[in-house]
Amino acid sequence: ETGVTQTPRHLVMGMTNKKSLKCEQHLGHNAMYWYKQSAKKPLELMFVYNFKEQTENNSVPSRFSPECPNSSHLFLHLHTLQPEDSALYLCASSPREGDQETQYFGPGTRLLVL
Amino acid sequence: GQNIDQPTEMTATEGAIVQINCTYQTSGFNGLFWYQQHAGEAPTFLSYNVLDGLEEKGRFSSFLSRSKGYSYLLLKELQMKDSASYLCAVRNSNYQLIWGAGTKLIIKP
């Protein structure tokens, strides 16, 4: 596979469930990002990892917990979510954080919290 | 605060030309990006401007005026497959990407 992949593509969960989103990039990049995309709103940057170290946490509630075991994999662990957390969660990667390179996005996970 | 403004929705006719505007107010400037996002799919990179002027890439062109905090994406010879959302994003002085909410472009036959 090439590019950035995300699993699952769709997820429905209750407010008491625990689930994880997975992102994998095959581009040899060193920076990975989690974004939240809600309808008619700008992309919201949630977390940034650069060379496996978290460099940004944009005041994201603790019910979202990222994990980056290596430069190719990124997880977002979810627990006790709220209905307003329903959105498209996008993963992206770039060669390094903060450089001039564009970011490459995965297809996203469409999350519905009931 | 920092913000990116672009129209919510635009409609155009197949074969025609459409211009999608983007105005920005950010803390510094280190480049402007345009992305295309089809419904249910990943945003894909279209263009990058860091200097004033027009960048042409096939049917798509992107213009930047840093003094006016303004950019536009020009799509020529519209095709039905161009129906998508177009996202404008600006990299500020801290190299953070500030995103617009996107413009949904509807192409009619």
Confidence tier at B21 by pLDDT (50, 70, 90): very high
With pLDDT > 90 as the criterion, what percentage of chain B qualifies? 88
- What's the mean pLDDT in B11-18? 98
CA distance B80 to chain A (A): 21
Mean local confidence (pLDDT), B83-89: 97
**B91 contacts on A by Cβ (under 8 Å):** 100
Tell me the helices (H) and strands (E) count for chain B, helix number first: 0, 11
Residue B88 amino acid letter: C
Amino acid at A25: Q
Per-residue model confidence (pLDDT) at position B6: 97
Tell me the nearest-neighbour CA distance from B13 into chain A, angstroms.
Answer: 23
Q: Which residues of chain A are modeled with pLDDT < 50?
A: none
Q: Sheet of A4-7: strands edge to edge?
A: A4-7, A18-25, A73-79, A64-70
Q: How confident is the model at residue B109 (pLDDT cuts 50, 70, 90)?
A: very high
Give A110's strand partners.
A10, A88
Cα distances from B51 to residues A17, A66, A107, B54, in angstroms, run 48, 36, 30, 9
- pLDDT exceeds cutoff 90 at B2: no
Task: Give residue A99's pLDDT.
Answer: 63
Q: How close is the nearest chain A Cα to the Cα of B62, in Å? A: 16
Residues in chain B: 109
pLDDT of residue A85: 96
Mean pLDDT of B43-58: 94
Report CB contact under 8 Å: B43, A90.
Answer: yes
Q: Could A90 and B50 be called an inter-chain contact, meaning their C-beta atoms sit closer than 8 Å?
A: no
The pLDDT, as a whole number, for residue A2 is 65
